[in-house]
Amino acid sequence: MSTTTPVRPTTEGTPEAPHPQRLAAGLLDPALLLTSLPDALRKLDPRVMARNPVMLVVEVGSVVTTAIALTDPSVFAWVITAWLWLTVVFANLAEAVAEGRGKAQADTLRAARTEAVARRLAPDGTSEEVAGTDLRVGDRVVVEAGQVIPGDGDVVEGVASVDESAITGESAPVIRESGGDRSAVTGGTRVLSDRIVVRITSKPGETFLDRMIALVEGAARQKTPNEIALNILLASLTIVFLLAVVTLQPLAAYSGAKQSLVILVALLVCLIPTTIGALLSAIGIAGMDRLVQRNVLAMSGRAVEAAGDVSTLLLDKTGTITLGDRQASELLPVHGVRGEELAAAALLASLADETPEGRSIVTLARQAVQQEEALSSSTFVPFTAQTRMSGVDLPVAGGTREVRKGASAAVISWARERHAVIPAEVGGTVDAIAAAGGTPLVVAESGPAGARILGVVHLKDVVKPGMRARFDELRAMGIRTVMITGDNPLTAASIAAEAGVDDFLAEATPEDKMALIKREQQGGKLVAMTGDGTNDAPALAQADVGVAMNTGTSAAKEAGNMVDLDSDPTKLIEIVEIGKQLLITRGALTTFSLANDIAKYFAILPAMFAARFPGLDRLNVMQLHSPESAITSAVVFNALVIIALIPLALRGVRYRPSSASALLQRNLLVFGVGGVIAPFVGIKLLDLLLQYLPGIA
């Protein structure tokens, strides 16, 4: 089934509706920080903090130092206590800012949701007005110009122009019609012209808009397997350092250098991976947010993460690799068949074909047909992905005349079953069109006088500009691209060579797509694909990343784990890049977090024991002013670095297509070495400032 871009008529002077992605605030917008601060403070609830073991330990430490500062007050104790609480608040603020961007988007969507009155059709054809909340799956409703579509569904009758600006942010209306792959409509959108009948496919409260609101505001976000594994690692490191600090005090007391509880808490907080612990949740939320900003709705964080590990990309040819506007350009009759005769047969066989290609054949054929045949008693045969044919059965004297048009292999096989003689020139014409990158469709008929091939229809398509460069980038990422098409192998090979894909699957049926995905997955690969039709639903459900088009059918949107609101099949390439950016950002900040602990060892350990063991003063490579100043500088840096990295966590580390080894080398060089050097500089600068603070110097 071909994938096409939605028709978007030009509408000059129409004000563009406010769209969620345009309401996303800046990375550290003061207004967003201010509105997120109450949420950050509410997250101090230990029941909420328990989801983040690293920061829960910091909060418990803050409570302990607060109690000490109250019973035995000192400037040093109060400064350490204040910055420990700020460390927890900054961590919560990172998550709150990420969630706040989603809530701003959800508020816009919520404002677009309206409770509509529906005209429900009864089985006898009469209609009654009911509340939109009373609709059930399977109900049929009539929606006319100016009315709001009361619920998600599929158009089963009529064609209309629909305003979807509340969902997609695009002010230009789109066409929704029965049949084909542009039949799905979303509750809350408005019909601008004509009249359609919609079959409801969702329950009240479970519409696409409801799910969008829950997802973008984070209510439905679950931790991904990668995120859970990293949380376990961080919790394990926290336990190790906690045991190390607890056992340090008896040893310190034995050696005559017993430490205060405030210093031990400060040491623990500086040693555990607080930076990545504070930013981990924000990174995951921001990854989904970046997809929303590109008008892609991810049904789970797992899908976003899987996109970063995709190794095989299945792309539909029409509308993705090519412009998707295949048009009938020429009718080529075989020897002995008149051009008007072929045109009339092609017209008849295409009347039941709802695809854009079928309609283009109707348009071209009507230019050559003098008079159309009466079809009052005819039986139409619609196009399906399984038969790859369409046609009509006409009653004639002595029997039935069957006319078929479709893929060359399918129609020739159909004609042979009816004992037709296949002219040698048909194969040559089909091969010539395919070799030129076109799509040949064969027209045949069968009746009382026998079966015969009438000719070939030439469909033309064009590869989108810049596709070869995009595929080269994917190849550099280690991703194998496979073009999926219903065309014959020669046509597929020609387009594949021009576009630069790694492989192709020609004359693909839904079963073929499923089989290909399963083969790739059995080899340990993650597979991504796009689709828009009901016949794509099984493959979308099987794929690790299934991106359904918003213009597609409800079945496709239910089967996929992502929905592209712009219905741009090439968006899959951007989704993969966002997924990789998410994984790289998480890895980069984890590397930085672990690396910057090195400088804290050199700051705190000499400060704790240099007085008792003077030889340790050699480790004071930063020449920090005093033990109190050294410990305070490390704690303050530990808090400030979280705020400094929030923009990077929300924006993501810039991704450049390259091999895994090159990415690892860059990660270690920039964030590993940088994570070692930055704290030395930061702690030293803070020490220079703090040495003038009474009680610290």
DSSP-derived secondary structure letter, 507: S
CA–CA distances in Å: residue 305 to residues 223, 288, 421 = 10, 10, 55
- The pair of structure tokens assigned to 571 is 């968006």
Q: What proportions of the chain, in percent to the nearest 5, are helix, strand and coil?
A: 50, 15, 30
CA distance 676 to 597: 8
User: Which of 316, 461, 544, 568 is labelled catalytic?
Assistant: 316
The β-bridge partners of 17 are none
Known binding residue 580? Answer is no
- Per the annotation, the verdict on 210 as an active-site residue is no
Known binding residue 4? Answer is no
Exposed, middle or buried, 419 (CB in 10 Å: 0-12/13-18/19+)?
A: exposed
Q: Which of 194, 532, 189, 509 is nearest to 356 (CA)?
A: 532
CA distance 40 to 97: 9
Element (H, E) at 153: strand 153-163
CA distance 584 to 85: 29
Element (H, E) at 266: helix 261-271
Known binding residue 259? Answer is no
- Which residues fall within 8 angstroms of residue 548, CB to CB, at 6 or more apart? 530, 531, 532, 536, 540, 556, 557, 559, 560, 562, 563, 564
Known binding residue 340? Answer is no
AA identity, residue 556: A
**Does residue 205 come out as left (phi exceeding 0), alpha (psi in the -120 to 50 range) or beta?**
left
- The dihedral through the CA atoms of 90, 94, 99, 103 has a sign that is positive
Asked if 302 and 235 count as a contact pair (C-beta separation under 8 A), the reply is no
Known binding residue 325? Answer is no
- Which residues fall within 8 angstroms of residue 664, CB to CB, at 6 or more apart? none
Asked if 517 and 543 count as a contact pair (C-beta separation under 8 A), the reply is yes
Known binding residue 525? Answer is no
SS3 call for 25: coil
- The dihedral through the CA atoms of 593, 597, 603, 604 has a sign that is positive
Known binding residue 353? Answer is yes
Known binding residue 536? Answer is yes
Known binding residue 178? Answer is no
DSSP-derived secondary structure letter, 124: T
- The pair of structure tokens assigned to 411 is 């129609």
- The pair of structure tokens assigned to 662 is 């090159």
Known binding residue 389? Answer is yes
CA distance 360 to 405: 13
- Which residues fall within 8 angstroms of residue 404, CB to CB, at 6 or more apart? 349, 381, 389, 390, 391, 411, 414, 415, 443, 444, 445, 446
Residue listed under structure tokens 């060359």: 408
- The dihedral through the CA atoms of 129, 135, 136, 140 has a sign that is positive
φ, ψ (nearest 5 deg) of residue 256: 85, 20
Known binding residue 387? Answer is yes
Known binding residue 384? Answer is yes
Asked if 373 and 403 count as a contact pair (C-beta separation under 8 A), the reply is no
User: What is the 3-state secondary structure of 163-219?
Assistant: ECHHHHCCCCCEEEECCCCCCEECCCCEECCCEEEEEECCCCCCCHHHHHHHHHCCC
CA distance 499 to 653: 29
Known binding residue 549? Answer is no
Q: Which of 398, 407, 381 is nearest to 450 (CA)?
A: 398
CA–CA distances in Å: residue 500 to residues 131, 472, 494, 496 = 53, 8, 10, 6
Annotated binding-site residues for Mg(2+) read 532, 536
Q: Which residues are catalytic?
A: 316
Annotated binding site: 353, 357, 383-390, 405, 532, 536
Q: Which residues are annotated as a binding site for ATP?
A: 353, 357, 383-390, 405
